[in-house]
Structure 1
Amino acid sequence: MRRPLAAFVVAVQIAMSGAPALAAPTSASAAAAQKAFDAGQDLYDKGQHEEAIARFREAYAITKSPNARMMVARSLLALGKIVEAYEELAATRVEAAVLAQEQPKYERARDSAAADLAALEPKVAKVIVALAQPEGARVTLNGTALPAERLGVAIVVLPGKVVVVVEPAQGARMQREETVVGGQTKTIFVAPGAEAPKNEPITPAPAESTTGGGVRIAGYVVAGLGVVGLGVFGVTTAMAQNKYDGLIADCGGQRCREPRYADVIDEGKRLDTIALGSLVGGAVGVAAGALMIALGGPKGAKKTDARVVVGPAGAFVEVGGAF
């Protein structure tokens, strides 16, 4: 018996099972799908993976079968296109999981896709691009444009250097470069216009300052990092709330139990974790920086007052006194 026949029977049965998302094919279209799948399998076996992908996609267009999509993913993997293969496998897992709720025969496709994804996890990384001012901004990741709906969502990339470029509606162009490793998920936070000018001269410390001034300078740095952390907290909290509101709306005010929402729920939990860490780290950084600014000045300098001010616009360190 030919191997494609057993695999493709599932593809034809999807459409004929009465699943809500699928239309029952005619006998002619079912035959065309079978022929496309068989041709794709033959090409795959011969190592002609590019040609096989076209035929598997043809079969998938007719039946919406997770099995046909699985073969698209495996063909991409054979071509070394790991990111594209991962995305197809993720979609296959979701589609098969939905179908398996009423048709247990699709549990095998669901589990196979999950196993393949687990094997690929160490070979890919994920980045979440978050903007402080997303309105009207044009964003690219490694040279590829990111639409607004992909901001704040985990995007699969190859390990190594990733480059995020942001062109805000107003203000200067921003670029961030980060390095990610396999299995890692990293959030890249970009705040257009928040960076200090690149070419401003550094004012030398007064000659009369002797010892202790370095602690105060470090205090400014620590406090600044704390303020950035609080900013990240605000952004990620808003993003998590938006995802939660979307889930509530999609699920009619009830708890979402469908597997197709699993990635959204995981993403919301990840954003909550980032928000909590940013809040704690930011608050500690601002408080520690204020203390270092107040107590770390040069010997003989006049007393300086430093306090943390939190308002609607965020948090900052207010410093008073003579230097």
Structure 2
Amino acid sequence: MDLDARPYRYFVTVAEKLSFRRAAEAHNISQPALSAQIRELERRLGFPLFTRTRHNVELTAQGTLFLDNARRIILETALIGRAAEEIRRDWLRVGIAHHMAGIPERNALIDSFLAARPDNRLRIHGRAPAQLYQELADGMIEVAINLEVAGSGASRSAVETGMADEFPRIVLGRRPVALAVPPGHAFHGVDAVALSQLDGCRIGSLSRAHGVRLSEVIARGLRQAGAELVNLPEGDAPALIRYAPIFGIPVISLGWFAMPEEREGGRLKQVAVEGLGIETELVAIRSRRPARAAVDRFWDLMKEGAGDAAGALPQAGVTPVRPSEPNPPRPSP
């Protein structure tokens, strides 16, 4: 789809090549046709873009100032064109937080939707957690899947506050925050440790990859228990699991990512932390804008599969949660 950014593309090409002839060749049009397009653009803008002599073409001062704007118009027009094409073809636009590709429940939902409705076109957009809410509000995506701290609006960062609660949501499942403990560590031989046992313990720390608020809440809870948080080379949850046996220390486990297969010396063990009291939720969120049929079908599938998704990965402490809306209707008296 072309929203007629051609005059701007012609202008940029002439500006880069400083030749109408070479620009016309690059766009496979005649030089007179390209020159006419540039003259019309200059007329619409109200200022000249080039100074022309018999042998040279140079940008005017106004043309130099306008060049970056023209490049931006070309980029924005391409993005708008792709969005319009997705709408025309009924693409379902789903935003999913980065680092979630390894969550079986997330993958099962996507796969089930595609298997049930192969006629539906689906486009997955990877985003930072805070971006998901903004793009829902802006209509850039229609559904988002994210990990959040379980609870109310206090579970969200300042960027998300005041925006996240505006959207209907389904809680697909809940996991307690725990520790992934490598073989050889004192905690590896137990199923759970008391919060007081973390005093002085070195623990691999979660970065902000899964959201500012999520990392802050977990870090604060562990520091209050006296734990020493250690920054490893990468701080997203799957990477922490990978680094735990290398550094020989427990790391934060969100509970959603499978432990690696047994390696030399044994395998990682998930150990509960009694008294920590922090859980994460896998949530689906949708825009309040008028929904297309594809959005409703995807949402209905998530409602139906919420309980199954929560129990798909057997782990200690898993709490299946049925779908819910932020403000469910109250029963009539």
Into which bin does the TM-score normalised by the smaller protein fall? under 0.3
* Higher RCO, Cα 8 Å, sep 6+: 2
TM-score normalised by L of structure 1: 0.26
Higher helix share: 1
